[in-house]
Amino acid sequence: MAKRSDPLNPDPTFLGFWRERHLCTLTTLRPDGTPHVVPVGVTYDPEAGLARVIANKSSAKVLHVLAGSGTEEGGARVAVCQVDGRRWATLEGLAVVRTEPDRVAEAVRRYAERYERMPAPNPDRVAIEIALTRATGNGSPS
Q: For every one of its 142 residues, what pLDDT tens digit does the chain have, with 9 covering 90 and above? A: 578 889 999 999 999 999 999 999 999 999 899 999 999 999 999 999 999 999 999 999 999 999 987 666 789 999 999 999 999 999 999 999 999 999 999 999 999 999 999 999 999 999 999 999 999 998 655 5
How many other C-beta atoms are found inside a 10 Å radius of the C-beta of residue 59?
15
Residue 16 near residue 137 (C-beta atoms within 8 A): no
Distance, CA of 85 to CA of 65 (rounded, Å): 29
What's the length of the chain? 142
DSSP state of 141: -
Residue 48 near residue 64 (C-beta atoms within 8 A): no
pTM for the full predicted model:
0.94
Residue 135 near residue 68 (C-beta atoms within 8 A): no
**Helix H or strand E segment including 49:** none
